Amino acid sequence: MEATQKKIVDALNRQLNKEFYSAYAYLATASYFEEQELGGFANFFRIQAKEELTHAMKIFEFIHRIGGTVVLAPIAAPKAVYKSPLDAFEQGLQNERALAGEINDLLTLATEEGHGAARVFMFWFVNEQVEEEALFTRCIRRMALVGKDGQGILLLDKEFAERTPEGEKKSA
């Protein structure tokens, strides 16, 4: 049981760090758009960064609830180099896919170790990743439709400006 608890808590701490890293990465993307005066896109990524912080905090609370110790490791600096607005979203999708893989690995670990509480806890994240990937995929398809057309980009920027935290992902 001790060994199981350690494996699970270590894995949760690694995931905690990755969620914080994602918040960092999305903040970098928000800055990229801010510098181009595309405030709507910047708003979208600011909200995305906040969501990653809520994911991190869910894990933070859960580690405490199961009697584990939270270890706050250094957060890596995001790459923050984007070739285009579309590339920024594509990098976001890549990040979400990586997260989905890591969450799936955590679910597998919890299952193999027979840690029911961690297993059930991970279900929420599995669903959340489905939503995150769908959101980025939808954005990328719409960006691809617009291409380099300035008017189209400004129209999307207006739409992204309307995104509000939690629950309104579909309007983005």
Contacts to Fe ion by CB under 5 A = 19, 52, 55, 132
DSSP 1-41: -HHHHHHHHHHHHHHHHHHHHHHHHHHHHHHHHHHTT-HHH
DSSP 167: T
Q: Which is nearer to Fe ion, 55 or 119 (CB)?
A: 55
| Number of Cβ within a 10 Å radius of residue 39 | 16
Q: Which residue sits closest to Fe ion, CB atoms considered? A: 55
Q: Which is nearer to Fe ion, 52 or 157 (CB)?
A: 52
CB 88 to Fe ion: min, Å: 15
Q: Which is nearer to Fe ion, 124 or 158 (CB)?
A: 124
Q: What three-state secondary structure class fits 126?
A: helix
Contact 67, 9 (CB under 8 A): no
Contact 20, 1 (CB under 8 A): no
Q: Which is nearer to Fe ion, 131 or 149 (CB)?
A: 131
CB 104 to Fe ion: min, Å: 13
CB 119 to Fe ion: min, Å: 18
CB 1 to Fe ion: min, Å: 29
